[in-house]
A = this chain, B = another copy of it.
Amino acid sequence: MSEPTPIPTHWYNIAADLPVPPPPHLHPGTREPVTPDDMAPLFASALIEQEASTEQYIEIPEPIREVYKTWRPAPLIRAREFEKALGTPARIYVKYEGVSPVGSHKTNTAVAQAYYNAQDGITKITTETGAGQWGSALSFACAKFGIDLEVWQVRASYNSKPYRRFLMETYGGTVHPSPSPLTESGRKILAEHPDTPGSLGIAVSEAVEVAAADPNARYALGSVLNHVVLHQTVIGLEAVEQLRAAGEENADVVFGCAGGGSNLAGLAFPFIREVLHGRATTRIMAVEPAACPSITKGEYRYDHGDVAGLTPLLKMHTLGQDFVPDPIHAGGLRYHGMAPLLSHTVELGYVTGQAVDQTESFAAGVLFARAEGIVPAPESSHAIAACAEYAKRLTEPEVLVIGLSGHGMLDLPAYHEFMQGNLVSTVGDVS
């Protein structure tokens, strides 16, 4: 671990620094750029402002920094044993977000979103969740700021992966299996398909429907949008400083897993800032699962963020709003699109996509766990696998940074399945 560095006082907004401004979100009906008024029924006012901000730095309010202090600065760990296990001349650093109370980076934006909603006098937030990482982070954050939280969790996960549901409930959140009889969209699906396992798309519709109908409620999203990416930049801002404190001038390559994109963008954008200002030549690898390769195999175009088409149109790399990825264990990477800001930096050449197979990523996860002690979230293992493959081929020392977005303590059954040889390869599963 490097020397401790202070917690950032500001988030970094890459939109202000890029040579080409990012394309705006469009209204799904008019296809005109969305206005703050369009978004007001769903999001807190400060978040709407941040979504379109062109300021380079946005101050982190003191109450948010107070909560961050519980686990931030998150450690930057030199992975010496992992280097040895790989036999690489590289110096590998991991930025570890698993020290947050819920065990992942999701809390960075959850706390900010809950805070700004509380500032607006909002008393209830609705959201959807799949395996439950985002739902538990928001549940924690809402408990902090005295906001009621209702979560629609994809029914298949609600039934088969109860630990994160129990976590949401422990924080005081209310969790419904989705589809639920509580909403019109839920009732409609249940009438047609009473045994449906549910999907994130349906769960979004339910959460949005409830928030839109209640003037005291708002909706919250855990990735993709610009304000979410903004909040996650604390990861990279700390990492850039910690790397210097550890005696490294710059990173040569940064590896992060990319699902909706906020984790990678949060880590990478402060490194890209150094590139944009001529202070480094760092390359960024966006590592996605072979089962859901939006950057490497998707199209770059306007698409909806959800299945039902309720969200604004976002310019992004997408596999199509109807794409249903295979049920891989890295649930946090099963999203059809990619954060528009991250997609934009891919198009501008600052970020490169790379797809990694599920079994390969678990093998890297086990190797990492035995070397460094931390069992990575299956999502993060994708970044570890890509870094390992790269590092093994090096003949000269390079400085590599891995975004370790969370731990895998609640994903241990998946590790067990992998070690029993029960996990299938996902290469070539994309259709």
B-binding residues in A (CB < 8 A): 1, 4, 67, 69-71, 75, 77, 81, 99, 101-103, 107, 140, 143-144, 162-163, 166-167, 169-172, 366, 369-375, 409-410, 412-413, 415-416, 419
Copies in the complex: 2
Q: Which of B71, B140, B163, B371 contacts A413 (CB 8 A)?
A: B163
Q: B374 to A162, Cβ gap below 8 A?
A: no
Q: B409 to A172, Cβ gap below 8 A?
A: no
Contacts of A81 in B (CB 8 A): 144
A366–B171 CA distance with the chains assembled, in angstroms: 7
Q: By DSSP majority rule, is chain A's interface helix, strand, loop, or mixed?
A: helix
CB-CB nearest 5 A-B residue pairs: A101-B373, A166-B412, A166-B416, A4-B4, A143-B370
Q: B70 to A415, Cβ gap below 8 A?
A: no
| Given A1-B69, A81-B144, A409-B103, also A170-B373 (CB < 8 A) | no
A370–B102 CA distance with the chains assembled, in angstroms: 12
Q: Which of B370, B373, B412, B419 contacts A70 (CB 8 A)?
A: B373
Instruction: Tell me how far the C-beta of A268 lies from the nearest C-beta in chain B, rounded to whole angstroms.
Output: 24
A101–B102 CA distance with the chains assembled, in angstroms: 14
Instruction: Tell me how far the C-beta of A339 lies from the nearest C-beta in chain B, rounded to whole angstroms.
Output: 26
Which residue of B is nearest A3, CB measured?
B4
Instruction: Tell me how far the C-beta of A77 lies from the nearest C-beta in chain B, rounded to whole angstroms.
Output: 6
Which residue of B is nearest A141, CB measured?
B373
Q: A170 to B69, Cβ gap below 8 A?
A: no
| Given A70-B1, A70-B373, A77-B70, also A170-B409 (CB < 8 A) | no
Q: A143 to B416, Cβ gap below 8 A?
A: no
Contacts of A370 in B (CB 8 A): 143, 170-172
| Given A77-B70, A169-B419, A373-B144, also A409-B412 (CB < 8 A) | no
Contacts of A163 in B (CB 8 A): 409-410, 412-413
Q: B375 to A170, Cβ gap below 8 A?
A: yes
Most buried by B among A99, A162, A170, A375: A170
A4–B1 CA distance with the chains assembled, in angstroms: 13
